Structure 1
């Protein structure tokens, strides 16, 4: 893919993201105004990708589009704080810091304080994966690190609060202890302190993708503010995970919904996330350059699943913790903002990592 092809594809995927109104609902607009109406994790990941695109383009109009969405949501009233409703706060913290908007910084600060004070904790002080559907008492989920802990770290940077960075670091370490398989380095979807097990014991692909992207992003976002020992440890964690991911990649470049079950459906949001995390890790020097062959094969597979309207196909809907493997296999496919965002970030990384062809 050359520069022109990359920009054309990127533009199409961004426009596809902006056309999404809600889950399973694609609008007809063709601009860069955000139409998604619900403040939830799905749009939170999407906004992070959109913000990175706007920042990369140095486009004030795109940045204003994001700001307008947040202002409208805040005026309407933010939902109750929990894990998934924290995801949109990641981009808000970046927007507030970029524009130095004191009102938005206050919103970020209040939300961060509420997380520390009010979010139920598991044993050992883990962030309980509370969602609107259920409290998930005593449960750690791998999604939490992207949805909540990236925000906490970014909030620590823009608010100059060391306590937030330290708490985010602790959550990464604690989740690694209970969710990372010591044999393969792959991550389980969840752990319960109540019954002491990993539910279905599934190595869920998108859950693993959240880790492949969250660790390099956390290290990059925190920069010099991250303890060297934490940086070194997390770098080894993701490197070990990626070695196993390379072994489990399908011949066509995709990953299966359940990584070690080739009978489960292949899934594009996980594939885009894993590929992005791999290329990001290579550029940062965390991952070995040999990983690039797997990442580039995945890149081509994702590109092949973008339709003419810029919608990334073969992405699965939101997924709760499953009690058996079949549950993960039965999750429906749909147009979703996070597949758009992960593909946007993959396309940006493809350019920034110097993978574009000269012709």
Structure 2
């Protein structure tokens, strides 16, 4: 793929994101207005990718379309605060900081305060993975780092609140302690303080992808505001994880839904996220240069799974904690906004890092 093709594919994937109305519902429009109706984690990840794309293109019209979606949602009334409903707040914090809108900054501040004050905690002060379906008492999930902790860190930057940055850093450390396997560096999907186990013990691919992307993003977004010791520690955590991810990559460049089970389905949103995090980490200097070869193989594999309408195929739907490996294998595939977003961000990284100009 040449440079112009990368941008054309990126444009197609962004338009595909904008056509999504709800899970597994694809509209027919071809513009850049956002039609997704539900304020949840699925669109939150998508909005983060869309905002990064709008900034990269320096496109004021795209930025306004994101702002318009948030204004409509706020006017309608925001949902109850929990882990997954915090995901759309990541891009809102960036939008509020970019536009310096006092009303939006106040919304970001109120949400951050409510998280610290009201979100149930596990032992040792972890963010309990509360979702609309269930409270998940005493549980830590790897998704939380992207869905909630990135928001707290960004909110700390735009609001100039050290307490939010420190809390986000602590959550990264605590989740690493209980979810990262010390032998392989791969991450379990969840941990329960109630029964003291990792449920199915699954190394779920998309859960690992959230870690591969969240750690470099957190380090980069926090910049000099992140404690040097935490930065050094998290860089080592993701480097160890990535070494094992490289070893379990399939021959065609994809990763399987359960990373160490080659009979489980291959999954494109995880593959896009892992590849993006890898390239981002190499460019930041926290991952070894040799990792890029694996990431670019994954990039080619994801490209082969984008249809003519810009929809990323072979992405699995939202996934609760499973009690056995078969549960993860049975998750249905569907057009989902987070697959669009992770692919957008991968394509953006390939463009920004000039990865196609490097030796492959």
**TM-score interval (norm. to shorter):** over 0.9
Distance apart, 1:3 and its partner CA: 1.6
Aligned to 2:228: 228
String of CA shifts for 1:125-156, please: whole Å, max 9, x gaps.
00000000000000000000000000000000
**Gaps in structure 2 of 5+ consecutive residues:** none
Distance in 2, matches of 1:202 and 1:47, equals: 28
Distance apart, 1:225 and its partner CA: 0.0
Aligned to 2:301: 301
Distance in 2, matches of 1:321 and 1:95, equals: 32
The alignment's TM-score, normalised by the length of structure 2, stands at 0.99
Partner of 1:174: helix, strand, or coil? helix
Aligned to 2:238: 238
Distance apart, 1:352 and its partner CA: 1.1
Aligned to 2:72: 72
Q: Write out the 4+ residue segments of structure 1 that deviate beyond 6 Å after TM superposition.
A: none
Partner of 2:253: helix, strand, or coil? coil
Distance in 1, matches of 2:352 and 2:281, equals: 12
Partner of 1:356: helix, strand, or coil? helix
Aligned to 1:22: 22
**Gaps in structure 1 of 5+ consecutive residues:** none
Whether 1:275 and 2:271 are equivalent positions in the alignment is no
Distance in 1, matches of 2:264 and 2:352, equals: 33
Whether 1:251 and 2:214 are equivalent positions in the alignment is no
Aligned to 1:344: 344
Whether 1:323 and 2:320 are equivalent positions in the alignment is no
Distance apart, 1:357 and its partner CA: 3.9
Distance in 2, matches of 1:90 and 1:178, equals: 24
Aligned to 2:207: 207
String of CA shifts for 1:310-330, please: whole Å, max 9, x gaps.
000000000000000000000
String of CA shifts for 1:207-226, please: whole Å, max 9, x gaps.
00000000000000000000
Aligned to 1:85: 85
String of CA shifts for 1:88-110, please: whole Å, max 9, x gaps.
00000000000000000000000
Distance apart, 1:192 and its partner CA: 0.1
String of CA shifts for 1:245-281, please: whole Å, max 9, x gaps.
0000000000000000000000000000000000000
Aligned to 1:189: 189
Partner of 1:309: helix, strand, or coil? coil
Root mean square deviation, CA, Å: 0.6
String of CA shifts for 1:159-180, please: whole Å, max 9, x gaps.
0000000000000000000000
Distance in 2, matches of 1:152 and 1:357, equals: 36
Partner of 2:140: helix, strand, or coil? strand
The alignment's TM-score, normalised by the length of structure 1, stands at 0.99
Whether 1:216 and 2:216 are equivalent positions in the alignment is yes
Aligned to 1:128: 128
Aligned residue-pair number: 358
Distance in 1, matches of 2:336 and 2:239, equals: 28
Distance apart, 1:2 and its partner CA: 1.5
Distance in 2, matches of 1:10 and 1:142, equals: 28
Whether 1:170 and 2:170 are equivalent positions in the alignment is yes
Aligned to 1:4: 4
Partner of 1:344: helix, strand, or coil? helix
Distance in 2, matches of 1:237 and 1:11, equals: 33
Partner of 1:127: helix, strand, or coil? coil
Aligned to 1:291: 291
Distance in 1, matches of 2:315 and 2:154, equals: 28
Aligned to 1:42: 42
Partner of 2:290: helix, strand, or coil? helix
